[in-house]
Amino acid sequence: MKKVPENNVKLRKIKRKTPFEKVRNAARDRAILAKIHEKTREILESYEHLDTVAKMTGVAREDLEKLADDAIIELAEAMETHFGVSA
């Protein structure tokens, strides 16, 4: 079997992709984006129930809001690192 030069392997990682590689990468990106979207939606929906959760747990509402805000920031950073999109 013919050995592929190392430079060609590095170039293929950066530049040219086969159609199968493009489809695989696009599917992976869609899955990651869908997961980020789902988590963000869950966090935003949880804002409606912060008063109830605060009463049940005894944690201040401001602390719960800060936790939710931190979670959204983490998701935005994940989106920025993976997709290069600043939220």
| Integer Cα distance of 26 and 74 in angstroms | 22
Domain segments of the chain as ranges: 18-81
For 7-59, the pLDDT digits (tens) are 666 676 667 788 898 899 899 999 999 999 999 999 988 888 888 988 999 99
Checking 30-36 for CB contacts under 8 A at 24+ apart, the result is 32/82, 33/79, 33/83, 36/75, 36/78, 36/79
Q: Looking at the whole model, is its pTM more than 0.75?
A: no
